[in-house]
Chain A
């Protein structure tokens, strides 16, 4: 079971999507961002998903501070929404712990992102 911390402007929508599409496979936790990133650092949760207006500011601020820039990835930003394949490449191509996206892109980004994280954790090929 994958444990995801979900924070930010799109947290409610993200949580609903994950609960609907990945029931039984993913556990969602909704801590405040500063607590969430620390849990990811300590290994109490696997990944951090944050959303905001820009995809890389408020969504990942706490993650940058605690997990470091290297471990954070801006998945989507204003004007740029990657497709499912690209999101999969981004996840498989790095070892990021925290992912940021624009909250209005939640419906496009979250299913592909969580699917990729799940498959990668289970050792499935890209």
Chain B
């Protein structure tokens, strides 16, 4: 059941066209400082807009912030077979930043989209030509994803409210999981509901999260934003609203992209859900993602006037939920439009309840921790499948080396890269005839 996605419902040409459109448009929006994907690079945009940086200086900073993420995006593709936003949109941030004019931005973006679509196909073909095609082994990378990722609500609760509360949530999630596996499905009258264990475990955890958040209430109380800040926020909210046509087109393309799997978001969770033929864990995870990212995206957007290329990520949820491919862009356009209208209001809400941004931090920290662990374990499983204990040794060495040198590679990328290195070295050794 687990593995990487190699057969798609929609043909390569359709996915390529959509990917090219996504990349070209995102590159244009980055060039025009309307939206970008890398939240870390967003605060640099006003420096260009207000003339404190030249385009070249700006592009250098944006590229510097993005490089590690493109690598992470590539490792996501290796682990899932899906072209994720980190591979496409982080790069289009940089390409748009470098582009001398808007036509160049569109052109380079489109070219990059083509490169992603055909490059990944070419690498796939190259894998099959190897003495040992370790792409099949890499499928192990995503095996632990859902089992560990579904525990993120418990980890977030432990971080925010304490270990005891975290353990209670974890136990509740585990019990729900076991009950679902035993019952299998529930029949009420003539309707049978399948009880997908991960779905309901995650759902139970999310409910606990809300219960604890409500119970603990708002501890720090309100803060009054000063006038200068209010002015900046409303000016920037107005700038984002005035760009609604550009942004809604991006939202529509993103939604279409995720529906036909031309472009993925949260690829490990999405990939696992697609392969299990049950999208509900992805929907629930996306609800968590949206809640977790709202404080981050709203505050960086309102501080800069530059929006997020995937918005508050709701277009990914609605795109995936769309019943047909042609409805996906309609849903995406509408979701993006509603988001843009809400940004100012969400900003005010966040000023009133500053603890909300802390909750967002804890959820994102929990997602990062669970996914990092899952992918590291998955990488060990993959390396073991390729080359047994030698594989485990190489991934282990790679992981600890990264740790000792201060985690240069993100935790979600280091394991998968290690597993790829194992595959490459194993093939070289095979080709040299050193192994029987």
Residues of A within 8 A of B (CB): 7-12, 31-35, 38, 52-58, 60-62, 64-66, 69, 72, 74, 76-81, 102-105, 107-109
The 8 closest A-B pairs by CB, nearest first: A54-B40, A78-B68, A79-B68, A57-B39, A32-B354, A108-B406, A81-B406, A57-B40
C-alpha gap A124/B300 in the complex (Å): 35
Q: Known contacts A7-B361, A62-B299, A79-B67; is A56 also within 8 Å of B220 by CB?
A: no
C-alpha gap A60/B65 in the complex (Å): 14
The answer on a CB contact under 8 Å between B411 and A52 is no
List, sorted by A's number, 17 A–B pairs whose CB atoms are closer than 8 Å: A7-B361, A31-B220, A33-B354, A34-B351, A34-B354, A52-B364, A53-B40, A57-B40, A58-B39, A65-B303, A66-B229, A72-B43, A79-B409, A80-B408, A103-B365, A104-B407, A107-B406
The answer on a CB contact under 8 Å between B357 and A78 is no
Chain A residue nearest in CB terms to B302:
A65
Chain B residue nearest in CB terms to A38:
B223
**B396 at interface, CB cutoff 8 A:** no
The answer on a CB contact under 8 Å between A57 and B407 is no
Chain A residue nearest in CB terms to B42:
A57
Q: Known contacts A12-B159, A79-B71, A80-B64; is A58 also within 8 Å of B300 by CB?
A: yes
Chain B residue nearest in CB terms to A8:
B361
**B358 at interface, CB cutoff 8 A:** yes
| A29 CB, min distance to chain B CBs, angstroms | 11
CB-CB under 8 A from A80, the residues of chain B are 64, 68, 408
The answer on a CB contact under 8 Å between B357 and A60 is no
Contacts A33-B358, A54-B41, A57-B296 supplied; 13 other A-B pairs, CB < 8 Å? A11-B361, A32-B354, A32-B355, A34-B354, A53-B39, A54-B40, A54-B69, A57-B42, A60-B43, A62-B357, A69-B46, A78-B65, A79-B67
C-alpha gap A105/B296 in the complex (Å): 20
CB-CB under 8 A from A102, the residues of chain B are 407
The answer on a CB contact under 8 Å between B368 and A53 is yes
